[in-house]
A and B are shown apart, each in its own frame.
Chain A
């Protein structure tokens, strides 16, 4: 399992019958929109040995994955962040493939989960809050 069911249940609790949409579907969409770019940057930073960038991006990915309930991916990013922080000279040895793999598998589980909830096709348009 790549998704943490406890986190998913937390989202389900917020989505009552009168709700305007299933929050997890919205969060998953944001996750799928923003993560590929970050993974690309992480891969480049690892290849370039830029430990500070690796630390920052791994930290961001760790948080996003955790918020979505992508536990495995969050753990892998946490390990990468720790390596970049404690052993900056070893940053090029970080294996990005398990992170990429966990992302792909997380997305597959998201799709299965949302299909089971019949939510994938019914995402509401999010109202943008404008500030005056």
Chain B
């Protein structure tokens, strides 16, 4: 099993304290245990778990599934594994719709916990790596639609994210306007006016995060992403 650093942990939401302990021991990782969705919700903003295990049926007729969409929004690349005692549980389908990645059946088998955790973690880490695009000092997180640079961080609209992603992937080459429209809007016909409006918003967002990455218009050809590499004063003087 992959060795993980000592400060990493998983979270278990289950009204049965045995479950958290079994998971903790199975993974050789600490498990932060919660019995109710209310307790867990209060900790979501500050927690950074490696994985979350959620029991579907909690005490007092609470459903662990109620919190799954919130978990998925907060941690897009964190495995969410639901737990149920019933293999024919009709809620399992609902769990996947709400953002769960996998499930465990009770009785919880340590080897199964290890296998599902490792597989889901590897899969989501791979997805996370693929969703991060870099251009100079700017990084674009396509899953969260966030662009980050040395002077700030901006949230982008879905179309703006797709436009910037295409420009980053083109690595400085000129991308025709029609290609960008097709990649960002799909088969929908878009006016130039709408396209330039989005471009204006995107340029403004980039200005808010970096001084060295800009979108250049090449008349009659399209657009490209211009990444200025920093030049030290000593080199500039040469």
Contacts and interface: CB of A to CB of B under 8 A. Distances in A.
B59 interface: yes
B60 interface: yes
Contact of B16 (A7, A10, A63, A69): A63
Nearest to B32: A131
* Chain A interface residue number, banded: 20 to 34
A63 B19 CA distance: 9
B90 interface: no
B59 A63 contact: no
With a 10 A CB-CB cut-off, give which of A34, A60, A66 has the most chain B CB atoms.
Answer: A60
A52 interface: yes
Interface of A: 4, 7, 10-11, 13-14, 23, 26-27, 30-31, 34, 52, 56, 59-60, 62-64, 66-69, 74, 126, 129, 131
B3 to A, nearest CB: 15
A39 to B, nearest CB: 14
Interface string B62-84: 00000000000000000000000
Contact of A63 (B31, B60, B106): B106
* Chain B interface residue number, banded: 20 to 34
Interface stretch (B22-30, B117-125, B130-138, B182-190): B22-30
Given A56-B61, A62-B85, A131 B19 contact: no
Contacts of B59: 56, 60
Given A56-B59, A56-B60, A59-B85, A67 B110 contact: no
A4 B21 CA distance: 19
Given A56-B60, A60-B15, A66-B85, A131 B43 contact: yes
